[in-house]
Every structure is written in structure tokens, then in C-alpha cells.
Structure 1
């Protein structure tokens, strides 16, 4: 896949019965109805937002009854919470893989950024969901914050520890992490702005923002720079 390939993030409203659009890597057979609903809901919440998502439309697109969705998630808010929990889990696992690896110092920071952006490239609708739950008064904002706060706290403690022993430049670790998160969310916003202007975004958009974020973090943290 090249930098000019377009990002497909929109919920089409229709999936072949018995099949699903697997946003983790292509089309796959899956008998798990609950996961099929979560995949479709992620695409819808990430593009149309909470208010623009219709359980009736999801049910029609999946070839299910609306009552089946409500059986698993009770309410639309419950469905959003489940989508947020799963996506936050994906982010956490992606970062845990890097933290458990051999990369250290600045190399670990770079590996973390690259891993998060790789996840975004693998699941473009994730960017849309992050944008949605970052809006003021978003129904999913508190849920996402509750999921990510422990991970952000762990990252802050690690960065501050690296600063204390001189392996990273001293700076406000909390502000730095918020800036990095805002950059990732901003990619999702930029994609929607481009679409509103009639321009289909490409992978170059994500790659360029990743490069800019790495440059910012390097100048802020890497004592060798």
C-alpha cells in the first residue's frame, strides 16, 4: 500500500449476510454476532458520530434485527461504550507490546509513536472514533478517558524517570503526552475536513503527521538532538 492510497473509513450501511468488513485486516468469516455489531458500530461512530448513528441502519446493514443489537448492548450508549472499550484495549495492547520490548530511551518513544500510527493505518476508523470522543460533551469522552488515563499515567512516570537520570531532556511530560494525543486526534479531524472539501485523503496525510510528531518529540526529549 503506497502513500497515495486512499483511506477507506466510511460505513456503507451494508454488509453481506454472514460476512463482515473486518476493520482489523480485510473481509473475514465470523460467526460472532457481537463482534460483527462492534465492527459496524465502530465504522459508524467513527464517521457519522454518536448522533448520526442509527441502530436501525446498523441492523439493516448487518442483516439483523434491531432487537439483536439491543440484546447484546441494551442501548446505543451501551454500544458506544463497548466500542470505546475495545478500541482503548487495542491501543493499550499496541503500546504494551512496545513497552515490553527491548527499545529504550528515545528509541522506545519512536517505537511507541510508530506503533500507534500503524494501528491507525490498520484501522482508519479508529481515528474517527478518537475524534468523536474528544469532542466537548461527547457521550464517549469519559469512557475513553477512564480507559486511557492509567496508560497515560504510566507513560508519564516512565518519561519523568528517564528525565531524572538524564536520558531525556527535562520538560513537562504531561503536556508533551497531551500534545502527542492531540496530534493523533487531529489526523482524524483533518481527514474529515479534506472529505468535506471533496478531497479524498491518502496515506500520505497520516505519514506526514507521524513524521511531524516524531520531529517535535525528538526536539523536546532526545538529548542527542
Structure 2
């Protein structure tokens, strides 16, 4: 489900220096070393170019995948603010410049793990439902649960970032604020089979909220079967006999 724009890291939250401080530091460094900021930028670009030139396309894909997987682990356990590009670079055997070559920036990396790593499969699931004449909402949720049951690390990352992004200044705040609305909007393009008098939008919102809660319980107690836990919720979300024939 589509991500929106992300705000820049705030100095007090991310630990990065402000633009003004960065310029002052750059001028001090230039006076102390006699090397210009332009020289430093060229060196970084040259290092990144060297990484690209020395690798075959499949090697570049492999490196990028390893960077994204490492980011999932770090964001999940440390959050966005607790993670640095240097930590990720070290974990995959690259320099920070090498990581930046593949992801552009820390915010770019955050965007990739959310929209490419996490959302891609669930977006595809909704597209498949849209191509069916009368799909079942309950079946869609079960398929979504089956997807997430196989990727606890991604669910952990998503849950950690979701809580962290309650802060309006978090770079993923807009993504999470818009994600639910986009999800319901996308789901409402599907011709769902529901009992008479049932509003699919209300069911979708309730289902997404319930899934968030079940996922947190699942993460707190490793070893539980996520699909079994979800099955226990279906009688509440899709009560019988109202949903007879629609589950």
C-alpha cells in the first residue's frame, strides 16, 4: 500500500547535525586540512562508483537485498532513530558510502523497507482480489495472515516503526497516517461478497485494527501460531449465522 512523502530527520531525534552546523563544520575542516568540501564529495562519489563498476548486475542485486534485510533487522530491534547507516554497512561488510550508493539516504532506506519489503506482497494480494468476481473479505484476511506468518522479522519492524512514527516529526509519520486510508480505499475498489446490510469499509477497518493487535500478541510470545490466533478472532469479526456462506 502506497507510501507518501517522508519528513526530514529532526536534529534532536536523529542525532544528525543541522545544515548550518554542517556548513560550519565543513569550513573548519577545510581550514584544518586544506581539502575542500567538493573534494570530499568527489571522493564519496568515486567510492560509490567503484563499487558499482566492480560488480556484475546480479552482485548489485544481492548486495542491495542484503542491505534491505539488514535494515529490517536493525529497524525492528532498534527503531529508526536507534539505527545508523554505519551499523547497517558494517553488518553487511560495506562502507557507509557503499550503502548510500544503493539506497540514497537513510530516509530512502526506510521508504524501501516499508513499501518494497513490507507492502509489496499485501498490495499484490488486493490486486488479485480485485480480479475476482466476488471475493470474500474473510479469505483475504486469512491470506494476509498467511503472508505475515512467514515473515516475523518484517512484522516486528513494521510494529516497531508504527509505534515510533506516532511522533509527527518521524520520517515515516505520513506513511503510517496515510497507509490505512489508502488500504481501505484500495480495498473498496473490490466487489466483495458480504451479507446484506454490511458495509465492507467498516469491516476492513475493524479487520486491520484487529490484525495489528493480534500481531503484537504474536510477537510478544514467540512460538505461537499466528494463523491459529487469527482464526480465533474470526468469530468476532465475521459472526455466525450472519456471515454464513461469506467466510
Same fold (TM over 0.5): yes
After TM superposition, give the deviation of residue 171 of structure 1 in Å: 4.0
C-alpha distance 188-217 of structure 1, shift in aligned 2 (>3 A): closer
Helix, strand or coil for the counterpart of 1:134? helix
For 2:73 and 2:111, how far apart are their aligned partners in 1?
Answer: 14
Deviations 1:168-222 (A, max 9, x none): 243454343222112222233224434xxxxxx1142x12331133222321862
Deviations 1:76-118 (A, max 9, x none): 222111111112122101232344346x35xx22221121111
Instruction: Answer yes or no: is 1:184 the counterpart of 2:211.
Output: yes
Larger mean Cα displacement after TM superposition, 171-180 or 35-44: 171-180
Contact 1:49–1:132, Cα closer than 8 Å, also in 2: yes
- Mind listing any 5+ residue stretches in structure 2 that lack a counterpart? 1-57
Instruction: Answer yes or no: is 1:94 the counterpart of 2:93.
Output: no
- Mind listing any 5+ residue stretches in structure 1 that lack a counterpart? 1-28, 195-200
C-alpha distance 210-38 of structure 1, shift in aligned 2 (>3 A): same
Contact 1:130–1:185, Cα closer than 8 Å, also in 2: no
Instruction: Answer yes or no: is 1:154 the counterpart of 2:181.
Output: no
Write out the 4+ residue segments of structure 1 that deviate beyond 3 Å after TM superposition. 144-151, 156-159, 171-175, 191-194
Q: CA RMSD in A?
A: 2.9
C-alpha distance 187-223 of structure 1, shift in aligned 2 (>3 A): closer
Aligned equivalent of 1:11: none
So what's the TM-score if we normalise by structure 2?
0.62
Aligned equivalent of 1:202: 223
Describe how 1:111-126 pairs up with structure 2 within 5 A.
111-126=139-154
C-alpha distance 47-177 of structure 1, shift in aligned 2 (>3 A): farther
Instruction: Answer yes or no: is 1:38 the counterpart of 2:65.
Output: no
Deviations 1:47-76 (A, max 9, x none): 332122232221111111111112222332
C-alpha distance 222-140 of structure 1, shift in aligned 2 (>3 A): same
Instruction: Answer yes or no: is 1:69 the counterpart of 2:96.
Output: no
So what's the TM-score if we normalise by structure 1?
0.67
C-alpha distance 77-62 of structure 1, shift in aligned 2 (>3 A): same
Instruction: Answer yes or no: is 1:128 the counterpart of 2:156.
Output: yes
Number of residue pairs the alignment of both structures matches: 182
